[in-house]
Structure 1
Amino acid sequence: MQDQHAELEWRDSGVPVSTRFDDPYFSLDNGLAETRHVFLDGNDLPARFRDGFHIAELGFGTGLNFLTAWAAWRDAGVAGRFHFTSFEAYPMDTDAMARALAAFPEVAGLAAPFLAAGGGSARFEDAELTVIQGDAREALPGWQGRADAWFLDGFSPAKNPELWGADLMAKVAAHTVPAGTAATYTAAGFVRRGLEDAGFTVTRAPGFGRKRHMTRAVLG
């Protein structure tokens, strides 16, 4: 597969925007607060954390979601290690990651070792990160893992529909433990239907910032 990387431009606010999908990597309001609201609260975290807890993600981007989850893990004081697997078709280079993450001093202490390790797959004392490069539609079926919680964080379904299709949602379900969860910032109807058809019980919840609604899902 040809190596492909993120194509970026930067807003005055310091938010990176994908020129390929014409969509920002995180909320223009506050990316860290968005991650906490959508992906942590949306998956009932950190209350569910336990040794070996596995988060999987569609769309690694800047790594902010991983760092936010890692910070929550440490704050929760859970013994052991958690696992985080992310699928990313267009990885961002470490210089761009560092520029984007500089906006969030709350995670600076974790961003430093993450960036020093190359901004990708790495093993830390209490966290194991695996970033799988490639189209998730091709990479996810062959993945051997199953997640306790999913962060569905691709670019907008209107601009990147390939990462939200019913076939891919079925693969997400197949790689989720019984009663596992998923959360996403979008409440697009076809995404919700795809999750429901895959076996998730789907609910709509208040969104973050300018988004009125988001989606939460529980398998089974």
Structure 2
Amino acid sequence: MKPIDIDLRLLEIFCCVYEKGSISQSSDCLHLSQSTISFHVHNLEKSIGLKLFYKKGKRYLPTSNAHMLYPYAKRLVELKQSIIEEIRLVSGSYKGHIKIGASSIPGSYLLPDIISRYINKNPNTKIDLTVEDSYIVIKKVEAGEVDMGFVGVKYEDPRIEVKEVWEDNIVFLGGPGVKERISLEELVKLPFLFREETSGTRRFVENFLRSMGVDVSVLT
């Protein structure tokens, strides 16, 4: 059996046609003419000696051979992209786009300086920072709408990797008429000024008060 030599570029084109199911859509995605894509697909089929697609109307439908090849080809294509990104990163020519979500405290006070210093070292990287309530940020991380989130609330979900990066102190502030030392019973009788219900800080304070036996629903 003669050795099989496969051009990685042909595998990239194959993966695109497999995913799109259309030469015309693949043409838009790859910025190649339809005739060029058809030529490369034919060359790949000739190289490996297997039929990969059959035409049905305007659709290019994968054969069982294509279903077998696709996961391996996709893995090689992704590995190539990872290698390119690592080389760009090491050489200082990395061009990336990072989407970050953050609640008000990290988003307004902690992250801007860190992001600024990072961009100074990596000028080709674009970073989008959106500041929203903690639980909105968490939902966006779950949905893949942002690459990472920074929030002021503990959250456990097997789908999300959670790491503690900061510690912060929360204190009660009172007006001039409030005693310096006050009991919990006296504290809960005072009017409270809370943040919005979806705030991580508010959730933390409410959970703390509940752990002390306080019915937070009666706080005003």
Greater strand content: 1
Greater helix content: 2
The answer to which structure, 1 or 2, has the higher relative contact order (CA under 8 A, 6+ apart) is 1
- The structure having more radius of gyration, on CA atoms, is 2
TM-score normalised by structure 2 residue count = 0.25
TM-score normalised by structure 1 residue count = 0.25
